[in-house]
Amino acid sequence: MFARILINAIAIAVATVVLKTLDLAYWYNPLSVRGIVTILGVGAIFGIVNAVIKPLFKVLTGCVVLLTFGVFLLVINAAMLWLTSWVSKELGLDWGLYSGWQPPLIGTVIVSAASFVATKFVGK
């Protein structure tokens, strides 16, 4: 379980570094205790959102996913990233997305790629 949280945290950290539209407070010093706690907290929230809410979204939008040959899954993943941003702001973790629909969509691609690479190193 901790490995999955760590993989999510690494993936979100990579997306935060690559995209300037993702804002992580205290990330200017990632080795600080506050920076590590923030990124691990956001990784845990992302894991919970993906484990609990994402399957519900997939079931409710199954027909749209089939009609778009799976492309709509990108929109679902972007919604999960946006939801993670909203929950983390509500919990006071100071991680979030700027306004617009492009940051979560591009962030989803980066988080998915970084998560894939990290999973290959760590394993399931």
93-122 confidence digits (pLDDT tens)? 766 666 567 777 888 888 888 888 887 887
Question: pTM (2 decimals)?
Answer: 0.82
| pLDDT tens profile 6-34 | 888 888 888 877 877 666 654 555 567 77
What is the pLDDT, as a whole number, of residue 97? 64
Q: Which residues pair with 96 in a beta bridge?
A: 23
| pLDDT tens profile 72-92 | 998 998 888 888 888 888 887
Q: Which residues pair with 23 in a beta bridge?
A: 96
Residue 59 tokens read as: 């079931």
DSSP code per residue over 23-74? EETTTTSTTSHHHHHHHHHHHHHHHHHHHHHHHHHHHHTHHHHHHTTTTHHH
Amino acid at 45: I
What is the chain's percent helix, strand, coil content, to nearest 5? Answer: 75, 5, 20
